[in-house]
Amino acid sequence: MSEDIINKGVSTTAEEHVKRWCALAAPYPEPQVLRPNPYYASLLLEDYAGSVSEMTAINQYFYHYLTLYQYHDLAELQECVSIIEMYHLELLGETIRMLGVPPEYRTLTNNKPVYWNASYVYYGYGICDKLSADIAAEKSAIQQYRLHQQLIDDPYIKALLERIILDEQHHLALFSQAAAKYCPNIKV
Ligand SMILES: [Fe+2]
């Protein structure tokens, strides 16, 4: 881990996450809900540990960090974004818990538990292949968050998803910049 993103305190506060260069410089709302709601929890579990999810993003970008080590700036970007996705996992996990459902790494869509699986990660081969998959992952995440924002009638959760979307849009821009530098031929 590079020096500037190591936090020496016991835990990382929301303010410290905002200071990471790959997060948008805007405050995060505290996780809060109007009242418990298992249906809303089941929607958020898809964002938390479904196939298009924070769990998948964390692990995909971390694998890309490990394998793109020859390209220092790209590796740093992947690592930083992976850490922000882990903060999103924390915010969603706390919200799911407040909605009355244990935040295990599984979805409960149609009441059927499906546990997160490492095959959800797009491992990839070369830089351009990995970056295209990362760009596609951010676009899918934004789309899924927008859909869930419409289905969830709780202003606290809507506000949290709005803030997470801002980070995903920022990540999309950062991955697109990296693609423009290393892969001028890919369409983003
Ligand atoms: Fe995220």
67: in domain: yes
23: in domain: no
Domain limits for position 116: 29-182
Q: Which two tokens stand for residue 148?
A: 């869930």
The CATH number that applies at residue 176 is 1.20.1260.10
169: in domain: yes
- Among candidate residues 148, 126, 127, the one with its CA nearest the CA of residue 53: 148
Q: How far is CA 81 from CA 103, 120, 124, in A?
A: 22, 18, 17
Neighbouring-strand partners of residue 115? 106
pLDDT band at 3 (very low <50, low <70, confident <90, very high): very low
Neighbouring-strand partners of residue 2? none
Across the range 133-149, mean pLDDT stands at 98
Q: Are 131 and 29 in contact (CB under 8 A)?
A: no
The radius of gyration of the chain from alpha carbons, rounded to an integer in Å, stands at: 16
In angstroms, what is the span from residue 6 Cα to ligand 1's centroid?
20
In tens, the pLDDT along 20-30 reads 888 888 999 99
Scored b (16 or more CB within 10 A) or e, 69-91 reads eeeeebbbbbbbbbbbbbbbbeb
In angstroms, what is the span from residue 169 Cα to ligand 1's centroid?
10
pLDDT of res. 5? 44
In angstroms, what is the span from residue 36 Cα to ligand 1's centroid?
23
HSE, side-chain direction, 13 A CA sphere, residue 81: 32
20: in domain: no
Residue list, annotated binding site: 54, 85, 88, 138, 171
Residue list, annotated binding site for Mn(2+): 54, 85, 88, 138, 171
Amino acid at 152: I
Please determine, for residue 15, whether its predicted confidence score (pLDDT) is greater than 80. Answer: no
pTM: 0.91
Element (DSSP H or E) covering residue 78: helix 72-98
16: in domain: no
Report the C-alpha gap between 183 and 3 in whole angstroms.
28
Q: Which two tokens stand for residue 150?
A: 């419409």
In angstroms, what is the span from residue 42 Cα to ligand 1's centroid?
17
Across the range 7-20, mean pLDDT stands at 64
Scored b (16 or more CB within 10 A) or e, 8-25 reads eeeeeeeeebbebebbbe
119: in domain: yes
In angstroms, what is the span from residue 88 Cα to ligand 1's centroid?
5
144: in domain: yes
In angstroms, what is the span from residue 91 Cα to ligand 1's centroid?
10
Report the C-alpha gap between 79 and 85 in whole angstroms.
10
In angstroms, what is the span from residue 34 Cα to ligand 1's centroid?
23
In tens, the pLDDT along 81-94 reads 999 999 999 999 99
Number of structural domains the chain divides into: 1
In angstroms, what is the span from residue 110 Cα to ligand 1's centroid?
24
- Among candidate residues 12, 1, 20, 3, the one with its CA nearest the CA of residue 167: 20
